[in-house]
């Protein structure tokens, strides 16, 4: 199975780049599953139903979220009607929405996509490891069960993301980090066969402060001046993500490569096996 994951989409620049590049990405990589983190897609804060529908129309299968899940208030009441938009599964019981979705990929194969938020330097949600473990125990990877499992780990600390990767090693196809908006160089297949990267990076303008206009961020940080609200940078975006191929017999990864396309970062494009 071929899996394409795109990191946090930041503002209009990121949205436009993702939608513009997805047709060629789908043609060249032919993914069976395409997942996008959309929690910063609406002006840098949350996502709207309209934007989500634009991503789905462009070929996205599942949208994951994070700590900005509820910044667009319309999603609080709408998410229960949008099963392919998932928020972190370790929100307290009774929170709208769901933290994972089981869907059918091409060829009738079953795919599980999960979203969890970590706790170091983040809002203190329920135990992310216990939450992930419950879902993995109920949906085992392998023939006759689930053909592929992807986990979006939304967190600040690289160490905590790596611990989650090792915690899921051999039980998930892909564990990929989001939230820090900076692509890491640690993409690898862990000893048990799970593809891992600490952070996929953002889909946004890198002439910025993690996607936000640098002038506003600098004034707030350096001079401690009251400023206008942070807003997304509007230059050409780099589309960042991760491409994974799995063994159909086991659901485990056999290939993992980063994606950086357009914008200011050095370019790299996966080779399809």
Q: Tokens for 169, please give them.
A: 């090693």
Burial of 211-223, coded b for 16+ CB within 10 Å and e otherwise, reads bbbeebbeebeee
Query: Could you tell me whether strands 188-189 and 195-197 are parallel, antiparallel, or unpaired per DSSP bridges?
Result: antiparallel
66 C-beta neighbours (distance < 10 Å), count: 24
CB neighbour list of residue 148: distance below 8 Å, 6 or more residues apart: 1, 3, 32, 33, 105, 109, 111, 112, 141, 173, 174, 246, 251
Q: Catalytic annotation on 179? A: no
Q: Which of 68, 179, 181, 187 is catalytic?
A: 68
Residue 28's alpha-carbon distances to 8, 25, 271, in angstroms, are: 22, 5, 9
Strands (DSSP E) found in the chain: 2-6, 33-37, 62-64, 85-86, 100-104, 110-117, 148-154, 174-178, 188-189, 195-197, 239-246, 253-261
CA dihedral 212, 214, 218, 219 (to 10 degrees): -90
48 C-beta neighbours (distance < 10 Å), count: 18
Supply the residues annotated as catalytic: 68
């Amino acid at each position: 199975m071929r899996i394409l994951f795109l990191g946090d989409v930041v503002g209009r620049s990121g949205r436009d780049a993702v939608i513009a590049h997805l047709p060629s990405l789908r043609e060249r990589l032919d993914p069976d599953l395409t997942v996008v983190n959309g929690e910063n897609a609406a002006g840098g804060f949350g996502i709207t139903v309209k934007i989500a529908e634009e991503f789905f129309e462009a070929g996205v299968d599942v949208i994951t979220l994070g700590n900005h899940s509820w910044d667009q208030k319309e999603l609080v009441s709408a998410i229960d009607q949008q099963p392919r938009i998932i928020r972190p599964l370790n929100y307290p019981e009774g929170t709208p929405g769901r933290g994972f979705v089981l869907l059918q990929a091409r060829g009738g194969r079953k795919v599980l996509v999960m979203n969890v938020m970590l706790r170091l330097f983040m809002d203190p949600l329920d135990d992310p490891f216990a939450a992930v473990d419950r879902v993995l125990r109920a949906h085992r990877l392998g023939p006759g069960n689930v053909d592929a499992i992807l986990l979006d780990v939304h967190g600040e600390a690289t160490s905590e993301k790596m611990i989650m990767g090792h915690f899921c090693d051999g039980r998930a196809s892909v564990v990929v980090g989001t939230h820090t908006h900076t692509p890491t160089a640690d993409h690898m297949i862990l000893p048990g066969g799970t593809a891992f990267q600490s952070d996929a990076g953002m889909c946004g303008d890198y002439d910025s402060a993690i996607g936000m206009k640098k002038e506003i961020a600098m004034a707030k940080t350096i001079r401690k001046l009251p400023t206008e609200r942070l807003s997304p940078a509007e230059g050409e975006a780099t589309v960042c993500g991760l491409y994974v191929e799995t063994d159909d017999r086991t659901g485990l990864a056999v290939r993992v490569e980063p994606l950086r396309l357009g914008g200011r970062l050095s370019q790299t494009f996966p080779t399809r096996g």
